[in-house]
């Protein structure tokens, strides 16, 4: 993949030939993360009240679609993670984008709960397993020293999408209805996920005669990538206490944050806020999240990700404490700012945890193995919906989430990075599949 002059051969669609190609991977990841937002809780939450009003479904019924998609994404991540390690993220992310786009189009036609469960399940599962794992692993394979800021830029894409898409949806709903909004979102996702991933996404720098972080960076530091980062196999990683504590933390995070995301708009509508005010709280949350990502990414380029996880848990705990008592717009905004900060931290912390603890060579396989445990996580959104249907309040669910946030902090305190065991010759290949 090197031209006759000895220079690395960049794909033709990247015009900045003097810029390290890893930033093209970041650009594709940014756009794909922007385009996947209709499959996530904050955007689906905008549709809860309109769907309730037209179809008469309970919130638990709607949340069940969220659970189905989360479980589908978690289970399929086992296969997707191995595919990304072996073949790269390009086709994986593009196929996921097509599935998301087609499923959003299907959501515009639903009339029975099972229709909704099927289409939203495919959309969310494709986002979790295809777009999230595909883009995160791709970026982690192209960066080491600048991994935090690179993943941070990708995360800004998702949160910017969550900040802007609600106003697009509100405008379409005002002119037409919620079904038309899903049609518009279908085209939105296809353009932002499929096209950039096919044009720009590539597997790893070594395929192009490049080194991780860019050849000039490595030479300036006088250190080869292999000397900077040791990679663990799946078999080695899962024998450590830290691995299982990371799994626990990544299960708890979407249990709390995914549930709160999904029911955020409906909760404040229940508290008497207008539709516009409730959606503005969602937008404030998303902007707070977007603005907190890059500072966190830069911090975690210099501080171990474990401390980032502790900070995320503390801020999340504080935000859930506020939402328990929030019944005014000012309190809702205070919640949105803190909850957004915690969500922005999550964008970086979750993607860095396994990469920085266990290296990049088997990262897709390791993340794929850990992902099915997150099938427990979507019980959180379903629990919140069920509690609201029975009590007409989310208070009991938020109390549970408060306790889980405290447990997240404890798990990160205990997750000390393990010392890597010596690897005998030839064992790397035998153990990689676990």
Closest listed residue to residue 114, CA positions, set 72, 57, 70 = 57
Q: What is the pLDDT of residue 5?
A: 37
How confident is the model at residue 7, as a pLDDT?
41
Report residue 226 as tokens: 């292999």
Check residue 127 and report its DSSP letter: I
Contact 152, 346 (CB under 8 A): no
Answer yes or no: are the C-beta atoms of 147 and 59 closer than 8 Å. no
Could you give the CA distance from residue 313 to residue 299 in angstroms, rounded to a whole number? Answer: 16
Report in angstroms the alpha-carbon separations of 53 from 56, 121, 178, 260: 6, 22, 11, 21
pLDDT on residue 141: 84
Q: In angstroms, how far is CA 338 from the centroid of its own chain?
A: 18
pLDDT at 2: 42
Which pTM value belongs to this model?
0.69
* Residue 84, pLDDT score: 83
CA distance 246 to 229: 19
User: How far is the C-alpha of 214 from the C-alpha of 197, rounded, in Å?
Assistant: 21
Secondary structure (DSSP) of 215-264: HHHHHHHT--HHHH-----HHHHTTSHHHHHHHHHHHHHHHHHHHHHHHH
- Please work out, in degrees rounded to the nearest 5, the angle formed at the alpha carbon of residue 175 by the alpha carbons of 169 and 179: 55
Let me know: does 205 contact 212? Beta carbons within 8 Å: yes
Helix (H, G, I), strand (E, B) or coil at 8: strand
- Residue 162's nearest CA partner among 138, 180, 188 is 188
Instruction: Say how far apart CA 405 and CA 413 lie, in whole Å.
Output: 13
Q: How far is it, in rounded angstroms, from Cα 73 to Cα 409?
A: 26
**Alpha-carbon span 277 to 286, nearest angstrom:** 14
**Residue tagged 């993607």 (tokens):** 351
Q: What are phi and psi of 16, to 5 degrees?
A: -95, 80
Q: Are 116 and 305 in contact (CB under 8 A)?
A: no
Of residues 83, 77, 78, 68, the one with CA closest to residue 115: 68
Kind and range of the H or E run holding 299: helix 275-300
One DSSP character per residue, 356-420 reads HHH-STTHHHHHHHHGGGGGGTTHHHHHHHHHHHHHSSSHHHHHHHHHHHHHHHHHHHH-PPPPP
Predicted local distance difference test score (pLDDT) of residue 87: 82
Q: In 3D, which of 309, 336, 307, 306 has the Cα closest to residue 320?
A: 336
Taking only Cα atoms into account, the Rg of the chain, rounded to an integer number of angstroms, comes to 21
- Burial of 7 by CB count in 10 Å (0-12 exposed, 13-18 middle, 19+ buried)? exposed
Superfamily of domain 22-417: MFS general substrate transporter like domains (1.20.1250.20)
Region of 110 (left: φ > 0; alpha: ψ -120 to 50; beta: rest) is beta
Give, for 180, the enclosing helix (H) or strand (E). Answer: helix 178-189
Task: Report the first-to-last Cα separation within the chain, whole angstroms.
Answer: 31
Per-10-residue mean pLDDT, the chain, length 434: 44 74 91 92 86 90 87 83 83 94 95 94 91 88 83 85 87 91 94 92 80 58 50 86 93 86 84 86 86 82 89 94 89 92 85 81 78 78 86 90 94 88 46 40
Q: DSSP assignment of 28-84, as one string?
A: HHHHHHHHTGGGSHHHHHHHHHHHHHHH---HHHHHHHHHHHHHHHHHHHHHHHHHH
The ranges assigned to domains in the chain are 22-417
How far are the Cα atoms of 33, 233, 349 from residue 238, in angstroms, in the given order? 29, 9, 19
């Amino acid at each position: 993949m090197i031209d006759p002059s000895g220079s690395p051969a960049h794909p033709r669609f990247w015009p900045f030939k003097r810029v390290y190609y890893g930033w093209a991977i970041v650009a594709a990841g940014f756009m794909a993360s922007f385009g996947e937002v209709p499959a996530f809780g904050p955007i689906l939450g905008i549709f809860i009240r309109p769907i309730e009003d037209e179809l008469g479904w309970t919130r638990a019924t709607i949340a069940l679609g969220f659970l189905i998609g989360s479980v589908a994404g978690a289970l399929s991540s086992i296969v997707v993670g191995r595919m990304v390690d072996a073949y790269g993220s390009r086709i994986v992310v593009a196929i996921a984008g097509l599935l998301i786009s087609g499923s959003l189009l299907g959501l515009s036609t639903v009339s029975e709960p099972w229709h909704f469960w099927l289409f939203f399940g495919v959309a969310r599962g494709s986002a979790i397993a295809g777009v999230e794992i595909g883009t995160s692993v791709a970026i982690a394979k192209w960066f080491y020293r600048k991994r935090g800021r690179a993943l941070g830029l990708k995360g800004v894409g998702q949160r910017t999408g969550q900040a802007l898409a609600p106003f697009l949806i509100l405008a379409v709903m005002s002119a037409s209805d919620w079904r038309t909004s899903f049609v518009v979102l279908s085209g939105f996702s296809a353009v932002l996920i499929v096209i950039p991933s096919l044009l720009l996404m590539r597997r790893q720098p070594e395929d192009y005669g490049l080194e991780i972080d860019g050849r000039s960076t490595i030479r300036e530091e006088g250190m080869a990538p292999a000397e900077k980062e040791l990679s663990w196999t799946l078999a080695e990683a899962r024998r450590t206490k830290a691995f299982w504590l990371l799994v626990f933390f990544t299960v708890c995070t979407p249990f709390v944050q995914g549930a709160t995301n999904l029911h955020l708009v409906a909760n404040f509508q229940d508290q008497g806020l207008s539709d516009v005010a409730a959606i503005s709280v969602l937008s404030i949350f998303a902007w707070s999240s977007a603005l907190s990502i890059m500072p966190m990414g830069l911090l975690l380029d210099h501080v171990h990700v474990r401390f980032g996880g502790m900070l995320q848990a503390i801020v999340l705990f504080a935000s859930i404490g506020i939402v328990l008592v929030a019944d005014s717009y000012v309190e809702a905004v205070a919640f949105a700012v803190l909850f957004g900060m915690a969500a922005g931290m999550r964008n970086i912390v979750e993607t860095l945890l396994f990469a920085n603890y266990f290296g990049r060579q088997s990262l897709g396989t390791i993340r794929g193995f850990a992902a099915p445990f997150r099938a427990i996580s979507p019980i959180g959104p379903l629990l919140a919906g069920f509690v609201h249907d029975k009590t007409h309040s989310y208070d009991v669910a938020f109390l549970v989430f408060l306790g889980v946030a405290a447990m997240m902090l404890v798990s990160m305190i205990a997750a000390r990075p393990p010392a890597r065991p010596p690897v005998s010759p030839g064992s790397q290949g035998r153990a990689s599949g676990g």
